[in-house]
Amino acid sequence: MIKNIYSFILKRYIVITPLLLVLIVAQREEYSQLTTSGTFGSAIRLAIPIMLAGLGGLFSEKTGVVNIGLEGMMIMGTWFGAWGGFTYGAWQGVFIGMLGGALFGLIHAIATVSFQVDHIVSGVAINILAAGVARFLNVISFEDVAYASSTASPRITGEIGKMTVPFLAGGPINDEETFNLFGSIENLDIFLISDFAGFILGFLSNISYLTIFALAIVPFSLIILWHTPIGLQMRSVGEYPTGSESLGVNVYLMKYIGVTISGALSGLAGAYLVVGGTGIYLEGQTGGRGFIGLASMLFGNYKPFGILMGSGLFGFADALQLRSPQAVHGLLIVISIFLFVLVLKTLFEKKYTQSLISLLFSGAFLIWFLNSTTIPNQFVYFTPHITTLIVLSFANQRIKLPEKIGVPYKKGELN
Partner 1 sequence: MTRMKSKWLVLFIVFGLILTACGGGSDDAAEEEVVAEEPAEELDSPATTAAAAEPVADPPSICLVLDIGGLGDLAFNDLAYSGYEKAIEDFGMVGTFLEPDGGGENRGELLELCAEAGNDLIVGNGFLFDAAMNEVAPSYPDINFAITDGVAEPGNVRGMLFKHAEGSFLAGVAAALKTTTNNVGFIGGVDFPLIHEFEQGYLAGVAAINPDITVQIGYASVPPDFSGFNDPVKGKEIALAQYEAGADIIYHAAGGTGTGMFEAAKEVSEATGTKVWGIGVDFDQYYTVGNPLPELQEYILTSMVKAADVSIYNAAKATVEGTFTGGPSVDDLSTGGIYLSYSGGYIDDIKDTLEEYKEKIISGEIVPPSVRP
Nearer to partner 1, 302 or 409 (CB): 409
Does position 44 interact with partner 1 (CB under 8 A)? The reply is no
The beta strand positions in 58-169, using DSSP E, are 162-163
| Surface-to-core class of residue 236, CB atoms within 10 Å of its CB (0-12 exposed, 13-18 middle, 19+ buried) | buried
Under the binding rule (CB under 8 A), the answer on residue 175 touching partner 1 is: no
Q: Binding mask 61-100 vs partner 1 (x if CB under 8 A, - otherwise)?
A: ----------------------------------------
Region 13-42 residues binding partner 1, contact defined as CB under 8 A: 33, 38-39, 42
Quote the least distance from Cβ 147 to partner 1, whole Å. Answer: 4
- Judged by CB under 8 A, does residue 389 bind partner 1? no
Contacts with 392 (C-beta within 8 Å, 6 or more apart), sequence order: 295, 298, 299
Burial class (CB in 10 A: 0-12, 13-18, 19+), 348: exposed
How far the first Cα of the chain sits from its last, in Å, is 40
When binding is defined by CB under 8 A, the residue of 147, 167, 191, 352 that contacts partner 1 is 147
- From the list 14, 106, 129, 359, which residue makes contact with partner 1 (rule: CB under 8 A)? 129
- Among candidate residues 273, 321, 265, 327, the one with its CA nearest the CA of residue 296: 265
Contacts of 265 (CB under 8 A, 6+ apart): 52, 53, 55, 56, 59, 98, 101, 217
Binding span for partner 1 by CB under 8 A among 14-22, 212-220, 221-229, 275-283: 275-283
CA atoms within 13 A on the CB side of 42: 16
Q: Which of 6, 16, 132, 190 binds partner 1 (CB under 8 A)?
A: 132
Half-sphere exposure of 172 (CA within 13 A, CB side): 5
**Binding segment toward partner 1, per CB under 8 A, in 54-62, 321-329, 353-361, 394-402:** 321-329
**Under rule CB under 8 A, residue 206 binds partner 1:** yes
Query: Is 208 among the residues that bind partner 1 (CB under 8 A)?
Result: no
- Phi, psi (5° rounding) for residue 270? -65, -45
Partners of 162 in the β-ladder: 208
* Site track for partner 1 across 236-265, x = CB under 8 A: ------------------------------
| DSSP-assigned letter for residue 162 | E
**Long-range CB contacts (within 8 A, 24+) of 247-253:** 251/409, 251/411, 252/113, 252/114, 252/411
Q: Residue 228 CB, nearest distance to partner 1 (Å)?
A: 33
Residue placing its CB nearer to partner 1 in the complex, 67 or 122: 122
List residues near partner 1 by CB under 8 A: 33, 38-39, 42, 45-46, 111, 115-118, 121-122, 125, 128-129, 131-136, 139-140, 143, 146-152, 154-155, 206, 273, 277-278, 280, 282-285, 287, 319, 322-324, 377-378, 381, 410
